[in-house]
Structure 1
Amino acid sequence: MIDFSASSAHEFGPLCTVLRSVADFTPGPGERIMLVGASARDLIHQGLGFDAELASTTDIDIAIAVPDRSAYQSLVTDLEPEGDTRIRFRIDNRSVDLIPFGGIEHPTGTAIPHPDGHTVDVFAFQEVFDGADLYRLPEGIEVRVPTAAGYAALKIKAWVDMGALGWTKHARDLSYVCMWYQNSPSLHDSLYDYEKDADLFERADFDQDLASTYLLGRHIRTAIGDDLANQLATLWDPDSRKLMASAERSDRFLSTPKARDYDTRLQYFNAIHAGLSTVPGRGDGD
């Protein structure tokens, strides 16, 4: 468990307030909900020991495990809808997406929370949830948060779906994950374990930053399983990776020449893809 319970609630902005409200209408909330989106990103960032402020957002995204559509409808029936997404509600004067996954998925990876047939993509949500870390926040609030690799998997899928429409935040957020892997010993230490991931150093021509991105891809594959990893690798094709590398380079936290350089970013994204595509010990992916 990652423990922020000794922190002041105000350090987490409106998040604790919203989570308390969600707990009021969600049985066993700590066991059924997972933060995704920017709130998850910020907690992962802090949990890894980084304190620089990331790009801000006012939205809060919460994935909620439900057995079927009627269960989801019963949870949200008294909430004020916002916009036309069918999953966004006004909670404590904040825009909150409540994203259903689990038994409601049909087929797997797609939820249909409303009778009108509107679909919600929840690719790999169950797998990311199963491997998520538990965070303890102030006032006894507990919530699941994706691992860095699980978060990266969701971001790549979001980019595949939305990147061509100009949603550059997903490119920026994946660059944050690269930075985490390149700078957090807790994530990249296995590169020095000759029985585990040290082969990636040779693959990266002994460039630690590049080896760390190969490792991220390998961890994504472990997080979501071989079948979903193969699907994601196919969807995240070369054109998609090139577009991603050219997007969102103005973020001040990614202001170093290396982080802003197109060729370097593309090299990192290609390395993630290679690690994601490859079963360890069976050679390179595409």
Structure 2
Amino acid sequence: MSTSNPTYKDYSFQNHSEVYKPLKQIFSNYGITYYLIGANARDVHLYKSGIKPIRATADIDFAIMVPDFVSYNALITELCTMGFSRVAEPYRIVYDKTNTILDLMPYGEIEEAYTVNFTERAVSLSVLGFKEVGEHIQHIDIPEEGYSLPVTPIEGMFILKLLAWNDKPSFRTKDLDDLSFLLKHAWDIYEEEAYTEHLEVFDDNQFNTQTAAAKIIGKKMGLILAENEILNQTISTILTEAIKDDGKAKNPELAVAQNLDISIEKAKNILTYLLAGINQNRV
């Protein structure tokens, strides 16, 4: 496996144990299903594979499954007795000691039509895909801290980040950069698994490691997308538009091309394999 010889201090979550511990306690007390999303989740996967992260972030994002706003607000209120403070955004709190920003993104019965509507400041959050990804949580051990973290799987990151970008294309290009970085290192992550669970990728006459890894990710995405046709159609449309041969370059393939230092044509080919993986087991 190719790595960048990183140390534990290279990862964004390495100084967050003081924040995670009270969260774990409260989530357990409330019986809440939760999982790490965003840049911290990305870095946990890179840490597991020994890959140096692209950039550090001080923010923490958790998806949390709650039944209603009464439960959600009670949870926030209790956290505010444990060293956290509210800020303007209704889904955000700050851990005072380290000034760490924490976003708690609610989903589940609290949502309506894949949207959570906060009355404060008339804020609406799209949570399409949170439920489905939340059924595929991956627990990753962090031996340096003596705990494990519930994290969105890499295929879940692809789903949620594509949706986040699609929701606000002008403001969420960093999500595409994150996905491109994962694609760049995907074979390092999946090579061993390819030889045991995805032997068909080696039958491709045009085999290369980047497209093979993309297809493996797509296959895994397909298992999640199959649980919700609206989710599946949304992701499939995003990728179909990105690989369309219409003479126009759009953000997904541009991000892949720039971050992998390859041509637009090769970037579209990688995304084509990603989509093919999604559709591989479709009836």
Corresponding residue number in structure 2 for 1:69: 69
Distance change >3 Å, CA 13–CA 233, structure 1 → 2: same
**Where does the alignment leave 5 or more consecutive residues of structure 2 unmatched?**
1-6, 244-248
So what's the TM-score if we normalise by structure 1?
0.77
CA distance in 1, matches of 2:29, 2:55: 31
CA distance in 2, matches of 1:168, 1:156: 10
Aligned residues, how many? Answer: 261
**Superposed counterparts of 1:6-21, under 5 Å:** 12-21=13-22
Corresponding residue number in structure 2 for 1:271: 273
Contact 1:9/1:139, CA 8 A, preserved across alignment: no
**Superposed counterparts of 1:136-175, under 5 Å:** 136-137=141-142, 138-163=144-169, 165-175=170-180
User: Which SS does the other structure have where 1:97 is aligned?
Assistant: strand
Contact 2:256/2:267, CA 8 A, preserved across alignment: no
Structure with the larger RCO, 1 or 2 (CA within 8 Å, 6+ apart): 1
Deviation at 1:234, TM superposition (A): 2.1
Contact 1:37/1:60, CA 8 A, preserved across alignment: yes
User: Which SS does the other structure have where 1:63 is aligned?
Assistant: strand
Deviation at 1:249, TM superposition (A): 6.8
Contact 2:33/2:64, CA 8 A, preserved across alignment: yes
**Where does the alignment leave 5 or more consecutive residues of structure 1 unmatched?**
1-6
Corresponding residue number in structure 2 for 1:4: none
2:232 equivalent to 1:229? yes
Contact 1:61/1:97, CA 8 A, preserved across alignment: yes
Corresponding residue number in structure 2 for 1:176: 181
Contact 1:160/1:236, CA 8 A, preserved across alignment: no
User: Which SS does the other structure have where 2:128 is aligned?
Assistant: coil
Report the AA paired with residue 270 of structure 1: T
CA distance in 2, matches of 1:125, 1:275: 21
So what's the TM-score if we normalise by structure 2?
0.78
CA distance in 2, matches of 1:192, 1:202: 12
Distance change >3 Å, CA 180–CA 81, structure 1 → 2: same
Distance change >3 Å, CA 218–CA 24, structure 1 → 2: closer
2:101 equivalent to 1:101? no
Contact 2:61/2:102, CA 8 A, preserved across alignment: yes
Distance change >3 Å, CA 225–CA 248, structure 1 → 2: closer
CA distance in 1, matches of 2:30, 2:146: 12
CA distance in 2, matches of 1:146, 1:204: 33
